Structure 1
Amino acid sequence: MRLDPRTKMVMVICLTSLALMYNTPGQLLLILAVTVALLIIFSFKPGAIWGYLKPFLSLMLFLFIIQSIFSPGNQVLFSVGAVPLLTVEGMIAGASVVLRIIVITAAAMLFTTFSSRDFILGLVQWKVPYELAFMVLIALRFLPVFRDELINVVTAVQLRGVELKKVPWGQKIAMYRRLAFPVVYRTMLKAEQLAVAMEARGFRAFPRRTYLRQLHFRRADYVVMLASAAITILLAVGHFIW
């Protein structure tokens, strides 16, 4: 199915809004199923979702444990003396946090089903300043760059003979904390190189820009946008009323 990039932007906004609004694993799993179905419709390989999420599995597990321990609840599963450490409500809260991250990440992958030029052009035709549209695009493009830098740093550590799977969790967390600096530093270097390239090509040299083509809504775009907005509003109203 071929839709206008702005239609897909509306769909992403609706999916992420629902993901932020719902707090139960069942509801979030339903939204995730809808998101994966949309990715398949737009010819996105479901296996690629795992590739995007795999580097962040340790972080998700850490968030799940933290939320499970520090979220209060009445149904205690494990306690130390009179202090409850693990509750059913805490595990539900931890699962909801992880699923929310997965849903938002999967919804953001809809942006990869059209070109970056169409993304900027769609925002500009929505009267968004070109500079702001470009900043949003760069922020989205730097997420995979940050992921790749993290993979490169972890690979460099493994090539030095460190088997991360055998490292205790306490030492592993300390190691990832030390690896954060080179990852951020290398990402900042890439950002500086991008800024130099933008200045060399005359970014913001003129107050207005011209475009070779224009995006146009079709009937299917109006139908999908109206249906997405209507379903989101109905679900939001039903969530807050019931």
Structure 2
Amino acid sequence: MNLDPRTKLIIVLCITTLAIVYNSPGTLFLLLAATTGLLILFGINLKQVIVYLKPYFLLLLVLFLAQCIFTPGGEVLLTVGSVRLLESRGLVLGASVILRLLVVIAAAVLLTTSNSRDFITGLVQWKVPYEIAFMVSVAIRFLPVFRDEFVDVVTAVQLRGVELKQVPWGKKIYLFRHLFFPVVYGTVLKAQQLSVAMEARGFRAYPRRTYLRQLYLTRLDYCLMLACPGFTLLMIGLYVTNY
């Protein structure tokens, strides 16, 4: 499906809004299924998305267990001696948090189906200042850069003979705390290089910019731009009414 980048941005905003509003695991699961259907409709390979998110599965599992253990309330499901280790409210909240994060991540993947230049052009045509549109584009581009920096640092540690899988959890946390600084340094260095390149190309040298490509909204874009916010407001209204 070929849609305008601005239409995709509105769809993503509507999906993430619903993900933030709803707290039920069942509703969030249906929202995740609908978002996955959109990914398939846009021709995104789900296997590549899963491979990309595989390094974060352990973090999601730790977050899920933390929510389950440290959220009291409801029926007791698991006890260790006299300690209530797992209760129903914690299990529901943990599942909701993980499903919410997956919905937001899956919705963000929709933005990768368009060129970053098209997003800038579309926002500028919406009378958004070019500097703000450019900052949004750079922020989206720097997320994978930050991940690549972390992967490079971890690979460098492993090449020096440190097997992270065999390191105890206490030392592993200490190790990752020290790995954070070179990751931030590498990211800041790339940001400085980007700023030098921008200045060399005359960024903000003229008050107005011209664009080779112009984006035009189709009837489908207009329909989705009206239908998605309307459906989102309707679902929020039903949620508030039933709540």
Aligned length: 242
Q: CA deviation at 1:156?
A: 1.8
Runs of 4 or more, structure 1, over 6 Å off, are none
CA distance in 2, matches of 1:159, 1:77: 44
Within 2, Cα distance between the matches of 1:38 and 1:20?
19
Do structure 1's residue 211 and structure 2's residue 208 form an aligned pair? no
With the length of structure 1 as denominator, give the TM-score of the two structures.
Answer: 0.94
RMSD (CA atoms)? 1.6
Tell me the equivalent position of 2:35.
35
- TM-score w.r.t. the length of structure 2 is 0.93
Q: State the 1:12 CA deviation.
A: 0.5
Partner residue of 1:184? Answer: 184
CA shift at 1:148, angstroms? 0.9
Structure 2: distance between partners of 1:50 and 1:7? 25
Change (3 A) 1:88 1:172: farther
Structure 1 residues not aligned, in runs of 5+: none
Q: What does residue 49 of structure 1 align with? A: 49
Q: What fraction of aligned residue pairs are identical, expressed as a percent?
A: 61
User: How far is 1:81 from its partner?
Assistant: 5.3
Alignment of 1:1-242 (within 5 A): 1-79=1-79, 82-242=82-242
User: Structure 1 residues 162 and 91 mapped into 2: Cα distance closer, same or farther (>3 Å)?
Assistant: farther
The answer (yes or no) to whether the contact 1:124–1:133 under 8 Å persists in 2 is yes
* Structure 2 letter corresponding to 1:119: F
| Unpaired runs of at least 5, structure 2 | none
Query: Any idea what the Cα deviations from partners look like across 1:43-74, whole Å, max 9, x if unmatched?
Result: 11111221331222232122112211221212
Q: What is the Cα deviation at residue 220 of structure 1?
A: 0.9
Distance 1:181 1:123 in 2: 34
Give the stretch that moved more between structures: 183-192 or 226-235: 226-235
Q: Distance in 1 between matches of 2:33 and 2:26?
A: 11
How far apart in 2 are the matches of 1:63 and 1:134? 33
Q: Which stretch of structure 1 is more off in the superposition, 25-34 or 169-178?
A: 169-178
Whether contact under 8 Å (1:75, 1:89) holds in the other structure is yes
Q: Quote the offset at 1:170 in angstroms.
A: 2.7
